[in-house]
Amino acid sequence: DAKTTQPPSMDCAEGRAANLPCNHSTISGNEYVYWYRQIHSQGPQYIIHGLKNNETNEMASLIITEDRKSSTLILPHATLRDTAVYYCIVFLSYNQGGKLIFGQGTELSVKP
Amino acid sequence: KAGVTQTPRYLIKTRGQQVTLSCSPISGHRSVSWYQQTPGQGLQFLFEYFSETQRNKGNFPGRFSGRQFSNSRSEMNVSTLELGDSALYLCASSLGQGDGTQPQHFGDGTRLSIL
**Strand spans (E) along chain A:** 9-13, 18-23, 32-38, 45-50, 55-56, 61-64, 70-75, 84-92, 99-101, 106-111
Residues contacting B1, CB < 8 A, separation 6+: B26, B27
Tell me which residues of chain A have a C-beta less than 8 Å from any C-beta of chain B. 30-32, 34, 36, 41-46, 49, 51, 87, 91, 93-94, 97-104
Distance (Å) from the C-alpha of residue A105 to the closest C-alpha of chain B?
Answer: 10
* Euclidean distance between CA atoms B89 and B107, whole angstroms: 9
In chain A, which residue's Cα lies nearest the Cα of B5? A43
In chain B, which residue's Cα lies nearest the Cα of A35? B103
Per-residue pLDDT of B59-102, as tens digits, reads: 999 999 999 999 999 999 999 999 999 999 999 999 977 777 88
For residue B36, name the pLDDT band (cuts at 50, 70, 90): very high
Distance (Å) from the C-alpha of residue A80 to the closest C-alpha of chain B?
Answer: 21
Strands B110-114 and B10-13: parallel
Per-residue pLDDT of A26-65, as tens digits, reads: 888 888 999 999 998 799 999 999 999 899 999 999 999 9
Q: Which of B31, B88, B104 to mutate to test the interface with A (most CBs of A within 10 A)?
A: B104
Q: Which of B43, B56, B105 has its CB closest to that of A102?
A: B43
Question: Which residues of chain A lie closer than 8 angstroms to B66, CB-CB?
Answer: none
* Euclidean distance between CA atoms A38 and A21, whole angstroms: 17
What pLDDT is stored for residue B48 in this prediction? Answer: 92
